[in-house]
Amino acid sequence: MASSSNSILLNLYTFIIIISLVSHSTESLCTNPPHIFNFGDSNSDTGGLVALGYSIGSPYGRTFFGRPAGRLCDGRLVIDFLCQSVKTGFLTAYMESLGSTFSNGANFAVVGSSTLPKFVPFALNVQVMQFLHFKSRSNELLSAGSQKMINDDGFQKALYMIDIGQNDIADAFAKKYSYAQVVKRLPSILAEIKNAIKTIHDHGGRKFWVHNTGPLGCLPQKMWLVQPTSKDLDPHGCLASYNSAANLFNEGLRRLSARLRSELKDSTIIYVDIYAIKYDIIANASNYGFSSPLMACCGFGGPPYNYNINVTCGHGGSQACNQGSKFISWDGIHYTEAANSIVASKILSQQYSTPQVPFDFFCH
């Protein structure tokens, strides 16, 4: 009796040690997380589209939330994992009116957003305008005696995250622009990202975290739409022209970040190579436990892509795989929670960041 309860205690003790080792290696000791303001598209929308009244149905959200949670994923997005790493809550969509306190920041990202055209919902410049409104309303409410609003110091210490550009490039290809025409549009897309950072800086923001765009040509949806022949493919079976355009955009974004770093000397601007992270996971899929890197878990049609534009995930006739954890692509456009978790841990490794600043650097 005594020995069996001792061994239970011993097991429990070992278990606690293992848990604390695991949590120390992956989690930071952030006691005072920064406010986070995020701007972007479906890669980081945590509820903007559904706050507009659109619905995202089951099986979205099945892996983590156990219900559709306003995200185009079976579970958490990269930004959710980043928030968890600094022990702050998931970001609330700016347009989610009921129950929102925005005590840890706000998420302006909305599914489908691009940088251009401007002044249409929810282009990057509109998202920034919404942020400016948020900031001036916070000031008004503070002056009126509210305790809970973010103050100027909070806005200055906040982390401003940007992850946009994928839809600009995808839309250009969808309009049947030639590769040369797509490339010609890249500088104007980059100029919008520059405007966003400078506008936020003009209003006191000093900490920026910029994600580049992933390998667009590896998305099952794009593969299905283009139905490429072998001459269109890159070494890992993705659309070569789409990936080259994404790479050129990223090269421009990297240089833009460097220029802004020397121009805005009072600021920290981190550029993160999401493309390299995602392309590695696709190229080396089996090392990460994934099979069929170019096939969606949830969709219609089976191999090679399990995608059909008329029967998309969550709509009648579509089917989801049993083990989402074996897939990189959830619905043909968006990554699974399993893939997002790996992307996030690679981001947190700092190896893909310029400069190599840890994410919890922004805790204070």
Ligand X SMILES: *[C@@H]1O[C@H](CO)[C@@H](O)[C@H](O)[C@H]1NC(C)=O
Q: Which is nearer to ligand X, 201 or 211 (CB)?
A: 211
Minimum CB distance to ligand X smaller for 109 or for 282: 282
What is the distance between the alpha carbons of residues 238 and 232, in angstroms, rounded to a whole number? 8
Check if 334 is active-site.
yes
266 in catalytic set: no
> Long-range pairs for 113-121 at CB < 8 Å and ≥24 separation?
113/40, 113/41, 113/42, 113/164, 113/167, 114/41, 114/164, 114/165, 114/167, 114/168, 114/171, 114/189, 115/164, 115/165, 115/168, 115/189, 115/192, 115/193, 116/168, 116/185, 116/188, 116/189, 116/192, 118/192
| Annotated catalytic residue, options 331, 341, 353, 360 | 331
Number of residues that bind ligand X (CB under 6 A): 6
Helix axes 274-283, 337-348, angle to 10 degrees: 130
332 and 325 Cβ atoms separated by less than 8 Å? no
Instruction: Tell the smallest beta-carbon distance from residue 300 to ligand X (Å).
Output: 9
Tell me, residue by residue from 260 to 289, as one string, x for binding to ligand X by CB under 6 A and - for no binding.
-------------------xx--xx-----
Q: Catalytic site residue 24?
A: no
Q: Quick one: angle between helices 240-263 and 274-283, nearest 10?
A: 150
Tokens of 354: 């310029």
- Sequence-distant (≥ 6) Cβ neighbours of residue 236 within 8 angstroms: 218, 279, 282, 283, 293
Concatenating the DSSP letter of every residue in 335-353 gives B-HHHHHHHHHHHHTSTTE
Residue 166, classed as helix, strand or coil, is: helix
Residue 301: CB minimum distance to ligand X, A: 8
Q: Tell me the closest approach of the beta carbon of residue 355 to ligand X, in angstroms.
A: 21
Please identify, using beta-carbon distances, which residue of 64 and 288 lies nearer to ligand X.
288
Q: Which is nearer to ligand X, 147 or 287 (CB)?
A: 287
- Identified binder of ligand X from the candidate list 308, 319, 325, 354, rule CB under 6 A: 308
Task: Specify which residues 163 forms β-bridges with.
Answer: 40
Instruction: Assess 310 for contact with ligand X (CB under 6 A).
Output: yes
Give, as one character, the DSSP assignment of residue 326.
G
Instruction: State the minimum distance, in angstroms, from the CB of residue 236 to ligand X.
Output: 7
SS3 content of the chain, % helix, strand, coil (to 5): 45, 10, 45
| Smallest separation, CB 309 to ligand X (Å) | 6
Minimum distance of ligand X from residue 57's CB (angstroms):
20
**Residues with catalytic function:** 42, 331, 334
Binding interface with ligand X (CB under 6 A) = 279-280, 283-284, 308, 310
